Chain A
Amino acid sequence: DAMVIQNPRYQVTQFGKPVTLSCSQTLNHNVMYWYQQKSSQAPKLLFHYYDKDFNNEADTPDNFQSRRPNTSFCFLDIRSPGLGDAAMYLCATSRTRSSGGADRETQYFGPGTRLLVL
């Protein structure tokens, strides 16, 4: 089945130690998103890739970076994790088409990676 895969499901890191979370998709979608979700809150968009174009949200800290080496993979790098970065990180994908106007497709989410910072 086509899907969005996130690894690992649980990640423990130390304060200040760089960490990378990964996302892959078999949907062949051209847009990939990274969200941060803290306990009892809605997901918050960090950034997204529209094809190879990177789009950062204005309030995303510089501590968060992303890479998309190809259509299938996208990585979230946290350069110096702080205690406040402990959260669930969700990857999502969507497909956009243009046919006399853009169509927004549904965002499909992976299972998430829960990050714990010690």
Chain B
Amino acid sequence: AQSVTQLGSHVSVSEGALVLLRCNYSSSVPPYLFWYVQYPNQGLQLLLKYTSAATLVKGINGFEAEFKKSETSFHLTKPSAHMSDAAEYFCAVSGSGGTSYGKLTFGQGTILTVHP
């Protein structure tokens, strides 16, 4: 079984400030981890993914995330927020075998608001 917990359903930052979106996962097998962004009335766009290579993963739009096995975390960060970063962000985990093969389990999402 696998699960994802995103701490904080809403995060608000000022433009130029650090963005930190938290994600903790639970998986009985080595996980693949993903961050997706969703703008209003749009599909999900992949920001970055961890697939057991480097633990620090760089994605699009200046985002990065670090896989920490000891903490079962995969937090998303961006050094300087931009107004265009305002969206909903989903963390997801994919299993590596059995019935969870290839299937994504999503967190509940975090809405990021960026203030001028």
Contacts and interface: CB of A to CB of B under 8 A. Distances in A.
Interface of A: 4, 6, 31, 40-43, 45, 48, 50, 88, 90, 92, 94, 96, 102, 104, 106-112, 114
User: Helix, strand, loop or mixed for chain A's interface?
Assistant: strand
A42 B106 contact: yes
B43 A90 contact: yes
Interface in B59-116: 90, 94, 96-97, 101-104, 106-109
Given A41-B108, A104-B96, A48 B41 contact: no
Contact of B44 (A31, A41, A90): A90
A50 B49 CA distance: 22
Contacts of B46: 106, 108
B42 A112 contact: yes
Contacts of A31: 102
Given A109-B45, A111-B43, A42 B108 contact: yes
B31 to A, nearest CB: 10
Interface of B: 32, 34, 36, 41-46, 49, 51, 90, 94, 96-97, 101-104, 106-109
Nearest to B6: A42
Contacts of A40: 109
Contacts of A111: 42-43
6 contacts: A6-B43, A90-B43, A104-B94, A106-B34, A108-B46, A112-B43
A21 B94 CA distance: 26
Contacts of A102: 96-97, 101-102
Nearest to B48: A106
